[in-house]
Amino acid sequence: MPKALWNGAVLAESADCERVEGNFYFPADSINRQYFEPSTTHTVCGWKGTASYYDVVVDGRRNPDAAWYYPTPKDAARNIAGHVAFWKGVTVEP
């Protein structure tokens, strides 16, 4: 079962991930919300839409914008609606 890890903490774990462009997108209800703080960062992908970000905070260490999601993805990416993906040092074990 895929698991996202950073700084010794399990950020998310789920057998129901979506895989897009090499990234695991975890269902939002599978993330451990205690480690997530909203970020003001947004980026735009031509086919997925506008992404919003979370800072990941574990034991006082902050990893800015280490998780992202598409609140209203475009139709081509509707399978990742309600899902969160990771980067910036977060390890995802398949």
Per-residue pLDDT band for 66 (boundaries 50, 70, 90) equals very high
60: left (phi over 0), alpha (psi -120 to 50) or beta: left
CA distance 27 to 15: 9
Domain housing 31: 3-93
Taking only the tens place, the pLDDT of each residue in 69-92 is 999 999 999 999 999 999 999 999
CATH number, position 78: 2.170.150.40
Residue 47: its pLDDT value, please?
A: 98
CA distance 30 to 13: 6
Per-residue pLDDT band for 3 (boundaries 50, 70, 90) equals very high
Cβ-based burial of 62 (10 A; exposed 0-12, middle 13-18, buried ≥19): exposed
Three-state DSSP class for 25?
A: strand
Q: What is the pTM of this model?
A: 0.96
Q: How many separate domains does the chain show?
A: 1
Residue 1: its pLDDT value, please?
A: 96
* Mean predicted lDDT score pLDDT of the chain: 98
Rounded mean pLDDT, 4-32: 98
